Amino acid sequence: MTLTGCDPGDREATVTETERRELVLWDQAYPNTIRDSAPLDWRRVPWTRNRYYNYRFGAEQDGEVWLSVLQRPSLDAVLLNVNRWYNQFRLPEITSLENLPQRPMLETTGYLVEAEGTYHPGMGADPRPETKMLAAAIPIGDIIVTIKMIGSPSDVEAQKESFGAYCEALKFFDKANIPEPDEEA
């Protein structure tokens, strides 16, 4: 068996944390018009149909963080989503969002949720004992942006500040500012 790889060539690129770049056509693959800025110790993994941004973290890389954009069919959709999260931990439902912690996110107010215990993700996946969740639900017009972190209690607790900073750093961007490729090329 022969394995081949790409020739790295003779060019070298160095990128620093403080560098910024102009938006390019590839950026249109991001969800709607939301840009994120994940901590350096979160490893990006491929997105899925419902997980526009998808990361792994923790010593065993078994912690998960993902961002989803959901339709908001009714005004109580945030409450319904929060109660679905609580149900995944078999916790009692709440009747109001007023007692949940709130933080500024995406130019509005997001709701924060925490839960710990046995996590029942559904969709045929096995329950995960000794799991902690941090989550945020951000209602914006006719959508809800959700960010969810799942992992061991110690890994999630160690990432609590990073999770909050990630949620607060989410930004909208204007796709109209992305230049189209040259038509002659």
Confidence check: pLDDT of 27 > 50: no
Q: In total, how many domains does the chain have?
A: 1
- Identify whether 2 is part of a domain: no
pLDDT at 14: 62
The enclosing domain of 154 has a CATH number of: 2.60.120.1690
Which residue range is the domain that position 105 belongs to? Answer: 25-36+43-174
Can you tell me the distance from the alpha carbon of 136 to that of 145, in angstroms, rounded to the nearest whole number? 8
b/e sequence 6-43, b meaning 16+ C-beta within 10 Å: eeeeeeeeeeeeeeeeebeeeeeebbeebebebeeebe
- At 176, is the secondary structure helix, strand, or coil? helix
- Identify whether 48 is part of a domain: yes
Give the position of tokens 């017009």. 141
Confirm if 155 and 181 have CB atoms less than 8 A apart: no
Residue 76: HSE in the Cβ half-sphere, 13 Å Cα cutoff:
6
Q: How far is CA 110 from CA 1, 34, 35, 72, 97, in A?
A: 53, 15, 16, 14, 10
Residues forming a β-bridge with 109: 104
- Identify whether 185 is part of a domain: no
- Identify whether 9 is part of a domain: no
- Identify whether 19 is part of a domain: no
Q: How far is CA 70 from CA 1, 50, 140, in A?
A: 46, 8, 10
Q: What are the pLDDT digits (tens) for 83-107?
A: 999 999 999 999 999 999 999 999 9
- Identify whether 131 is part of a domain: yes
Number of other residues whose CB lies within 10 A of the CB of residue 76: 12
Average pLDDT over residues 127-152: 96
In what helix (H) or strand (E) does residue 129 lie, and over which residues does it extend?
Answer: strand 128-140
- Identify whether 59 is part of a domain: yes
pLDDT at 33: 79
| pLDDT bucket at 24, cuts 50 / 70 / 90 | very low
